Amino acid sequence: MGTNQVDHSSRHPSPLPTHRPFGPGKYASLSDSRYRESVAVAKDVREKRQLEETSNRLSSALDQVMEVIAILDAGNGAIIYSNALFAQIFGQPSHWAPKQMFMDLFECRILATALEQARSGQAWTGRSSLKTLAGKTITFEGTVSPVRTVEGTVESLVVRLRDITLEVEKDRHLRQAQKMDALGAVAGGMAHDFNNLIGAILNAAELIEVQVGPDSPIQRKLEIIQQVGGRARELSAQILNFSRRTDDTWIPFDLTGLVTEVASLLQATLPKNVEVRNDLAQGIRILGDPSQLHQVIMNLGINGSQAMQPDGGVLSIHLQPAEAGRRVGDQSFLEPCVLLTIEDTGCGMDPLTMERIFEPFFTTKELGQGTGLGLSVVYGIVHGHGGNLQVASEPGKGSSFKIRLPVHPDLRKGLATA
């Protein structure tokens, strides 16, 4: 049957054409385009997700950077982006105007110039200080950089600021401490020699007094030598106190008792127009030299009283246990300490005077009225006791001297923090 074999496929073609609404080619091209479309959509979604992820990652990184970062519209200076630290310093964006201008959030002329410079295409680097709307002054170092389009136009500005207020303050304290140490060394050396010379003069005067007898006409002159010599000896003792850093004479003692005693002495000896008020925590004991601390309170009290003349005023003395773990200036008080505050309602001081008050021989008093040693002695004694001294004052608004003194470990029992 070989030849009879029929190839049905060719001999009997299907009576009906196969229903293929779209020819194979057509079908193929349409599904391609759909495929391409869906691939494109998937790609878009993936890219969008990647973009979102990158953007989230960037913004989370920028929020954790310890610097203030903002991106501004180069045209009008409006904030386009700002990180978390920016909000901490300049306030939450939810409180801002719709197109918040960067320069309206603080006062700083240097930054206005910096933006101008960056707008013209040149990056700015520098340090300055600004005052926030909340009234806080911040010292910063930073940069303002232009961001250009592909055509080269400056489109936005990136501001980066680092708050260096604490570092600058620490440097200032360190410089002050180094200056005082150097002055202390020089003054101590001089006072020591000076003391020996005065000793020799006073001894000679005593010998002459014995030799010439009480009726001699030079007796009066000898008295003057002794008086003035005695005063010179007191002065050199004060300078020695300022430079002394030893704890030879330290004993545990009741600081509350000492302050009470000095407060009554001040009330009795200061002019009648000065009212001494005290508010003292009971039973505060420290390790130190009571006579030196007596001198500290007397010097501060006398200064306060002098600053309140001629009208008089109130001298307040407070003593309280202070918070441990507090950072004050360049020192950390990790252990319990006590806080002694002496405040007056006197004339106050301007910043230039305040910069110099601890320098030996710095005085604003008239010739012969003050030696300018009082506060340098206070400084020497307080630091010699491992303490710290802070002053706040404004012209016309009085002054406040805060002294923190560490409490010896053996004396801490029963010291409750206020």
Ligand X SMILES: Nc1ncnc2c1ncn2[C@@H]1O[C@H](COP(=O)(O)OP(=O)(O)OP(=O)(O)O)[C@@H](O)[C@H]1O
Q: Which is nearer to ligand X, 284 or 347 (CB)?
A: 347
**Is residue 307 within the footprint of ligand X (CB under 6 A)?**
yes
Name the minimum Å distance from CB 374 to Mg ion.
Answer: 3
Do 336 and 417 form a contact (C-beta atoms < 8 A)?
A: yes
Q: Residue with structure tokens 């990158």? A: 54
Q: Residue with structure tokens 């201008």? A: 101
Residue list 329-348, contact with ligand X (CB under 6 A): 344, 346-348
Residue list 354-413, contact with Mg ion (CB under 5 A): 374
Do 344 and 300 form a contact (C-beta atoms < 8 A)?
A: no
Q: Provide DSSP, 138-180.
A: EEEEEEEEEEE-TT--EEEEEEEEEE-HHHHHHHHHHHHHHHH
What is the separation of C-alpha 230 from the centre of its chain, rounded to a whole number of angstroms?
A: 43
Sign of the four-CA dihedral 216, 220, 221, 223: positive
Pick the binder of ligand X from 161, 259, 338, 349 (CB under 6 A).
Answer: 349
Name the minimum Å distance from CB 315 to ligand X.
Answer: 9
Q: Which is nearer to ligand X, 257 or 372 (CB)?
A: 372
**Is residue 229 within the footprint of ligand X (CB under 6 A)?**
no
Distance CA 127, CA 164 (A): 9
What is the separation of C-alpha 74 from the centre of its chain, rounded to a whole number of angstroms?
A: 33
Pick the binder of ligand X from 146, 163, 399, 406 (CB under 6 A).
Answer: 399
Residue list 46-85, contact with ligand X (CB under 6 A): none
Name the minimum Å distance from CB 197 to ligand X.
Answer: 21
**Is residue 321 within the footprint of Mg ion (CB under 5 A)?**
no
**Is residue 357 within the footprint of ligand X (CB under 6 A)?**
yes
Q: Which stretch binds ligand X (CB under 6 A): 114-122, 148-156, 313-321, 360-368?
A: 360-368
Chosen from Mg ion, ligand X, none, partner binding at 250 (C-beta under 5 to 8 Å by type)? none
* Lookup: tokens for 227: 């008086």
Distance CA 267, CA 254 (A): 20
**Is residue 403 within the footprint of ligand X (CB under 6 A)?**
no
Q: Residue with structure tokens 């320069």? A: 103
Chosen from Mg ion, ligand X, none, partner binding at 176 (C-beta under 5 to 8 Å by type)? none
Chosen from Mg ion, ligand X, none, partner binding at 362 (C-beta under 5 to 8 Å by type)? ligand X
Q: Which is nearer to ligand X, 6 or 391 (CB)?
A: 391
Name the minimum Å distance from CB 56 to ligand X.
Answer: 56
Q: How many CA atoms lie within 13 A of 208 on its CB side?
A: 16
Pick the binder of ligand X from 48, 148, 231, 365 (CB under 6 A).
Answer: 365
- In the shown chain, the binding pattern of residues 265 to 304 toward ligand X, with x for contact by CB under 6 A and - for none, equals ----------------------------------x---xx
Distance CA 343, CA 362 (A): 21
**Is residue 312 within the footprint of ligand X (CB under 6 A)?**
no
**Is residue 301 within the footprint of Mg ion (CB under 5 A)?**
no
Chosen from ligand X, Mg ion, none, partner binding at 79 (C-beta under 5 to 8 Å by type)? none
* Lookup: tokens for 396: 């016309």
Phi and psi of 83, rounded to 5°? -90, 180
Consecutive H or E run containing 317? strand 313-322
Q: How far is CA 255 from CA 16, 76, 153, 324, in A?
A: 118, 61, 70, 18
Distance CA 236, CA 24 (A): 114
Consecutive H or E run containing 228? helix 219-243
**Is residue 373 within the footprint of ligand X (CB under 6 A)?**
yes
For the chain, give percent helix, strand, coil, nearest 5. Answer: 45, 25, 30
**Is residue 370 within the footprint of ligand X (CB under 6 A)?**
yes
Pick the binder of Mg ion from 83, 236, 256, 303 (CB under 5 A).
Answer: 303
Torsion angle of C-alpha atoms 316, 317, 319, 323, degrees rounded to 10: 50
Chosen from ligand X, Mg ion, none, partner binding at 357 (C-beta under 5 to 8 Å by type)? ligand X
* Lookup: tokens for 334: 């990790």
Consecutive H or E run containing 196? helix 165-212
Q: Which is nearer to ligand X, 388 or 399 (CB)?
A: 399
Number of residues in contact with ligand X under rule CB under 6 A? 23
**Is residue 304 within the footprint of Mg ion (CB under 5 A)?**
no
**Is residue 353 within the footprint of ligand X (CB under 6 A)?**
yes
Q: Which is nearer to Mg ion, 126 or 370 (CB)?
A: 370
Q: Which residues of the shown chain bind ligand X in the complex (CB under 6 A)?
A: 299, 303-304, 307, 344, 346-349, 353, 357, 362-365, 370-376, 399
Q: Which residues of the shown chain bind Mg ion in the complex (CB under 5 A)?
A: 303, 374
